[in-house]
Amino acid sequence: MQWEIVIGLEIHTQLATASKIFSGAPTKYGAAPNSQASLVDLGYPGVLPVLNRQAVIMAIKFGLATGCKIAPRSVFARKNYFYPDLPKGYQISQYELPIVHDGHIQIALSDGMSKTIRITRAHLEEDAGKSLHEDFKGLSGIDLNRAGTPLLEIVSQPDLRSTAEAGAYMRKIHTLVRYLDISDGNMQEGSFRCDANVSVRPMGKRELGTRTELKNLNSFRFVEKAIEIEAQRQIDVLEGGGTIRQETRLYDPDRNETRTMRSKEEANDYRYFPDPDLLPVRIEPALIDEVAATLPELPDRKLERFVRAYALSGYDAGVLTAQRALADYFEAVVASSRGGAKLAANWVMGELTAALNRDGLEIGSTRVAAAALGALLDKIADGTISGKIAKEVFEAVWNGEGSVEEVIVKRGLVQISDSARIDALVDDVIGANPAQVEQYRAGKTQVLGFLVGQVMKASGGKANPQQVNDALRRKLGAPP
Amino acid sequence: MHKQTLAQVAGDLRARRVSATELTRHFLERIERFDGELNAFITVTKDRALEHAALADRRLAKGDATPLTGIPIAHKDIFCTAGVKTSCGSRMLDNFVAPYDATIVERLQNAGAIVLGKTNMDEFAMGSSNETSYYGPVRNPWDRDLVPGGSSGGSAAAVAARLVVAATGTDTGGSIRQPAALSGITGIKPTYGRVSRSGMIAFASSLDQAGTLTQTAEDAALLLEVMAGFDERDSTSLDEPVPRYSQLVNEPWEKITIGVPENFFDDGLDPDNAAALRAALAEFEKLGARLKSLRLDHIHLSVPAYYVVAPAEASSNLSRFDGVRYGYQAEDAIKDDLMTFYMRNRGQGFGPEVKRRILTGTYVLSAGYFDAYYLQAQKARQLISDDFARAFAQVDIVAGPTTPAPAFGIGQKTGDPIQMYLNDIYTIGANLAGLPAMSLPCGFVRGLPVGLQLIGPHLSEARLLKAAHHLQRVTDWHQRIPGGYG
């Protein structure tokens, strides 16, 4: 039987506010345990939450960027359960009335088409602390630094039909929150995590199958692998005549399997009710306008513009606009050089990206500034150096050996475009390779490449390849 | 000097007829002498009080004192006080020393009031008799076999027996007004949000409100104008200017209309209480007030609605008391598995009334019951608010009983929670509607004080206090001191 996978994602993205959502404690990652928790975060008697306005503004930004409705009135509710890393015994979240709802984003499919994924809602909530089960001799340690960190939980409709779509959706949301500057999206630090609701159904059937929820998938790769393995498990169960139990499952990346965490029967009754310590959040149209005015150009719009204004392929434009900083870098290169957008795109996606990846750097920490790359491309465009030499120059600049100009001069890399010098080099090569010349003249024209290579080698790679080509053809004469 | 009101003592302090240190010593001696029999205090902060009194005397000498500088007061042990045990009447917090001051504690301290100690209370403010306290019942100074009312019973008894000049309290369903009535003093619960809840250990957040227990309405005005006002630490506190209550109460009487809900005077009310109340209302008429009969049609829903909403919020508010970060931890509990750890800490740390309300609250919020209980209760709450809104379209103040009868015996109602809960039948409405309300002495029945309750529209504290002050200028019920404490 043919099966269809149905996936909905719940993405928890940590908002990049300076302080926590309901207290003034800082949100910085990696501090000594329990050094960034105020009395509010610790759930002391008598303390009260006060909403961080910055978190509200960030949620509005996300809502505007995804075509969501911004609720004029949303309500914080308490989600009650006991756990040592949940100091108050409840999490302040939003339940019936989220701050933004009913939006959508576009994802690109592998066949070049795009697909609309509906966003049910995105709501504000506080994160819990961390339980540390190792290093305490059978006891558990609690670190409450993360308690009270603002999260935006983004819930999609079950519109995703494959692991690839789920991955594309997650990447798109990741791109978006970073564009909006509302999250650093750092997955290692847990700033961007995902739960997946997965079910399968016979292809063509409308009714949804029983779903399971996969918890805490904290990398793109894990999301795809976990869904893949879980969907296959469900298919195996169903094809074996079994039924799927609604439950929460945990993905184990070491064994690449999912296993039961808790069944529906064991699920908590969270006893949600409106938090009486917080007033409903009221958002006036004026505030929405104010926030809208601060929105950057969004990835879809930027992609369209890159295709149109720079005559790039959709693929190239997609790669360049996946990160706002990369797109900005690309545009700065284009603006600072006469080499043209295509050349700039190739270099940004090629040498630059490779160097960043090799050294594990973000675009913000690049060692070749946009202006420097622009200068380098100018040297290619005006024939000062060849593309091949340019790569050498790029490496040298990356390694801090000086500016583009300095490296070219210091290493004597200026391209040889003087035709007399090139003719001399060509004559030497013709004289030294009579057999190949013979073959060429006999019609084996592929030999030209060998001869060009010999000239380039003799010139230390500096001869203008086009001129070498032309001179060889001229001197060898047209093949019969 | 303990027979004087706060206003009088303040006058003496500023005229240097008495020093803050003398006053503090005098009241500390009274606490030492009488509190063994009353059990009004959980903690007496003698040394700290004397230090603060010395500071107050310096301030008085320099002439930068406020009317509260040097006034000996006590805080209900529900308010966090930095460096001092804050127990909330519970074993759960018997070892808890608050690391910060509640906003009202801070404001009163800045004004120069001297805190003599922390008063006994029903555990987590859950009770109407002060019998649920981990520290034992408080006794009523008018008759020590009787309860002083609750949950602010320690504050009420301390003021009634003149162990302090005034005290703070909290009122979730009547916890200031009911003990004020049963102890023969004046108590006010302001409008919800008028006084910050920051640092006040939460019972039912949408109902809790801090207020005062004093001898007179004028004293209440002096305290309230310092305690009230917006606090950025409490999102539900009202950002409205605070009137100068102590000046406003002394302005000339205006003709007001007082609404009397006839259904407050039905069979549930002790006939002798009813007679005392009618007599007090007649005094208002003599002052020139017009009385108007009215009905509050949905007030019978107040007790059932309250006993859904308050436990629901409490069940969540009290979840933080788990023995992980502070508070009671059962012996060797850390060696148990997590569930046993919780059960032992909470099972041993909380008393039976608190457990009863946590269970009730958990039940009414549970899946399948939420709509039938919590949502219905919210609807009832709205109906009660609407009743009051209609009443205040016609009258300035609603007046009636604070309690159904005078103080009852210790142990008399502990076996029957419903009887105990019905003691708050007249007071709960104001909490559900968020309205200011107060109780003031209005006579005696069988030698025990009776309270008259005044309820006003939102932010009408000045109106209530002024009416009460004018009544107290022509009556002397509030000046009576229980036998043995004069």
pLDDT by position in tens, chain A (length 480): 899 999 999 999 999 999 999 999 999 988 999 999 999 999 999 999 999 999 999 999 999 999 999 999 999 999 999 999 999 999 999 999 999 999 999 998 888 789 999 999 999 999 999 988 887 887 889 999 999 999 999 999 999 999 999 999 999 999 999 999 999 999 989 999 999 999 999 999 999 999 999 998 888 999 999 999 999 999 999 999 999 999 999 999 889 899 998 887 777 899 999 999 999 999 999 999 999 999 999 999 999 999 999 999 999 999 999 999 999 999 999 999 998 999 999 999 999 999 999 999 999 999 999 999 999 999 998 888 888 889 999 999 999 999 999 998 888 888 888 888 888 989 999 999 988 888 888 888 888 889 999 898 888 888 888 888 888 888 888 655
**Mean pLDDT over residues B399-410, rounded?**
97
Contact status, residue A13 vs residue A183, Cβ threshold 8 Å:
yes
A258 Cα distance to chain centroid? 25
User: Which positions ≥6 away from B263 have C-beta within 8 Å?
Assistant: B295, B296, B297, B299, B300
Contact between chains at B100 and A84 (C-beta distance less than 8 A): no
**Nearest-CA distance B106 → chain A (Å):** 14
**Nearest-CA distance A96 → chain B (Å):** 14
Instruction: Check if A42 contacts B (Cβ < 8 Å).
Output: yes
Distance (Å, rounded) from C-alpha A49 to C-alpha A375? 54
User: Residue for token digits 């006579």?
Assistant: B443
Structure tokens at B391: 């009443």
User: Residue for token digits 């795109």?
Assistant: A345
Nearest to A50 among B233, B320, B322 (CB): B233
**Nearest-CA distance B182 → chain A (Å):** 28
Distance (Å, rounded) from C-alpha B402 to C-alpha B389? 20
Contact between chains at B316 and A84 (C-beta distance less than 8 A): no
Contact between chains at A51 and B201 (C-beta distance less than 8 A): no
Contact status, residue A3 vs residue A200, Cβ threshold 8 Å:
yes
Contact between chains at A271 and B233 (C-beta distance less than 8 A): no
Nearest to A279 among B96, B235, B365 (CB): B235
Contact between chains at B325 and A276 (C-beta distance less than 8 A): no
Contact between chains at B96 and A45 (C-beta distance less than 8 A): yes
Which residue of chain A is at minimal alpha-carbon distance from B343?
A82
Instruction: Check if A89 contacts B (Cβ < 8 Å).
Output: yes
Contact status, residue A16 vs residue A184, Cβ threshold 8 Å:
yes
Contact between chains at B313 and A51 (C-beta distance less than 8 A): no
Which residue of chain B is at minimal alpha-carbon distance from A281?
B235
Instruction: Judge whether residue B465 has pLDDT over 90.
Output: yes
**Nearest-CA distance A212 → chain B (Å):** 21
**Nearest-CA distance B335 → chain A (Å):** 8
Contacts of B99 in chain A (CB under 8 A): 39, 44
**Nearest-CA distance A182 → chain B (Å):** 25
Instruction: Judge whether residue B5 has pLDDT over 70.
Output: yes
**Nearest-CA distance B234 → chain A (Å):** 6
pLDDT tens profile B423-432: 899 999 999 9
Contact between chains at A89 and B199 (C-beta distance less than 8 A): no
Which of A22, A39, A47, A279 has the most B C-beta neighbours within 10 Å, making it the best mutation to test the interface with B?
A47
Distance (Å, rounded) from C-alpha A402 to C-alpha A386? 19
CA distances from B261 to B340, B387, B453 (A): 51, 11, 11
Instruction: Quote the mean pLDDT of chain B.
Output: 97
pLDDT tens profile B338-357: 999 999 999 999 999 999 99
Contact between chains at A51 and B235 (C-beta distance less than 8 A): yes
User: Residue for token digits 């675009």?
Assistant: A363
Distance (Å, rounded) from C-alpha B450 to C-alpha B430? 19
Assign A96 to helix, strand or coil: coil
Q: Under CATH, to which class is B6-252+461-479 assigned? A: alpha beta
Instruction: Judge whether residue B406 has pLDDT over 90.
Output: yes
Nearest to B201 among A46, A49, A273 (CB): A46
Contact between chains at A50 and B96 (C-beta distance less than 8 A): no
Instruction: Check if A350 contacts B (Cβ < 8 Å).
Output: no
Instruction: Check if A138 contacts B (Cβ < 8 Å).
Output: no
Distance (Å, rounded) from C-alpha B296 to C-alpha A437? 114
Distance (Å, rounded) from C-alpha A386 to C-alpha A465? 8
A125 Cα distance to chain centroid? 24
Contact between chains at B79 and A46 (C-beta distance less than 8 A): yes
Q: Work out the end-to-end distance of chain A between its first and last CA atoms, rounded to an integer number of angstroms.
A: 62
Contact status, residue B74 vs residue B116, Cβ threshold 8 Å:
yes
**Nearest-CA distance B77 → chain A (Å):** 12
Is B22 or A254 the better-scoring residue by pLDDT?
B22
* B186-189 vs B41-44, strand pairing mode: unpaired
What is the architecture, at CATH level 2, of domain A419-476? Orthogonal Bundle (1.10)
pLDDT reported for residue B122: 98
pLDDT reported for residue B423: 84
Is A447 or B165 the better-scoring residue by pLDDT?
B165
pLDDT reported for residue B30: 98
User: In which region does residue B370 sit, left (phi positive, over 0), alpha (psi from -120 to 50) or beta (all else)?
Assistant: alpha
pLDDT reported for residue A445: 82
Which of B80, B318, B325, B360 has the most A C-beta neighbours within 10 Å, making it the best mutation to test the interface with A?
B325
* B397-401 vs B257-261, strand pairing mode: parallel
User: Which positions ≥6 away from B280 have C-beta within 8 Å?
Assistant: B442, B443, B452, B471, B475
pLDDT reported for residue B142: 98
pLDDT reported for residue A478: 65
Report which residue type is found at B339: M
Instruction: Check if A49 contacts B (Cβ < 8 Å).
Output: yes
Question: 3-state SS string over B24-50?
Answer: HHHHHHHHHHHHHHHCCEEEECHHHHH
pLDDT reported for residue B233: 97
Contacts of A279 in chain B (CB under 8 A): 235-236
pLDDT tens profile B66-85: 999 999 999 999 999 999 99
Contact status, residue B126 vs residue B354, Cβ threshold 8 Å:
yes
CA distances from B328 to B81, B324, B333 (A): 18, 9, 10
Name the band, by pLDDT with cuts 50, 70 and 90, for residue B277.
Answer: very high
Contact status, residue A155 vs residue A120, Cβ threshold 8 Å:
yes
Which of A48, A52, A82 has the most B C-beta neighbours within 10 Å, making it the best mutation to test the interface with B?
A48
Nearest to A43 among B233, B320, B370 (CB): B320
Contact between chains at B365 and A45 (C-beta distance less than 8 A): no
Helix (H) or strand (E) holding A76: strand A76-80
pLDDT reported for residue A384: 84
pLDDT reported for residue B49: 98
CA distances from B157 to A193, B132, B181, B404 (A): 56, 16, 11, 19
Instruction: Judge whether residue B124 has pLDDT over 90.
Output: yes
Contact status, residue B3 vs residue B165, Cβ threshold 8 Å:
no
Contact between chains at A276 and B206 (C-beta distance less than 8 A): yes
Contacts of A52 in chain B (CB under 8 A): none
Structure tokens at A216: 């805490």
Which of A137, A264, A277 has the most B C-beta neighbours within 10 Å, making it the best mutation to test the interface with B?
A277
Which of A133, A271, A277 has the most B C-beta neighbours within 10 Å, making it the best mutation to test the interface with B?
A271
Nearest to A139 among B102, B201, B334 (CB): B334
Nearest to B197 among A43, A48, A271 (CB): A48
CA distances from A378 to A350, A383, A399 (A): 17, 8, 20
pLDDT reported for residue A137: 80
pLDDT reported for residue A266: 76
For residue B175, say if its preceding peptide bond is cis, omega within 30 degrees of 0: no
pLDDT reported for residue A214: 95
Domain positions in chain A are 3-290, 299-410, 419-476
Distance (Å, rounded) from C-alpha B447 to C-alpha B482? 10
Contacts of A46 in chain B (CB under 8 A): 79-80, 86, 98, 102, 197-202
Distance (Å, rounded) from C-alpha A40 to C-alpha A47? 6
Query: Which residues, in sequence order, are bridge partners of residue B261?
Result: B294
Q: Is A241 exposed, middle or buried (0-12, 13-18, 19+ CB in 10 A)?
A: exposed
Contact status, residue A231 vs residue A198, Cβ threshold 8 Å:
yes
Instruction: Check if A129 contacts B (Cβ < 8 Å).
Output: no
Q: Which active-site residues of B does the annotation give? A: 76, 151, 175
User: Residue for token digits 């104010």?
Assistant: A290
Instruction: Check if B325 contacts A (Cβ < 8 Å).
Output: yes
Nearest to B325 among A43, A50, A78 (CB): A43
**Nearest-CA distance A83 → chain B (Å):** 9
- Window from A443-447, B171-175, B312-316 with minimum mean pLDDT: A443-447
Assign A55 to helix, strand or coil: helix
Contact between chains at A48 and B234 (C-beta distance less than 8 A): yes
Structure tokens at B76: 């209900």
Contact between chains at A279 and B234 (C-beta distance less than 8 A): no
Distance (Å, rounded) from C-alpha B1 to C-alpha B22? 10
Instruction: Check if B365 contacts A (Cβ < 8 Å).
Output: yes
CA distances from B258 to A377, B4, B278, B293, B299 (A): 88, 30, 12, 9, 18
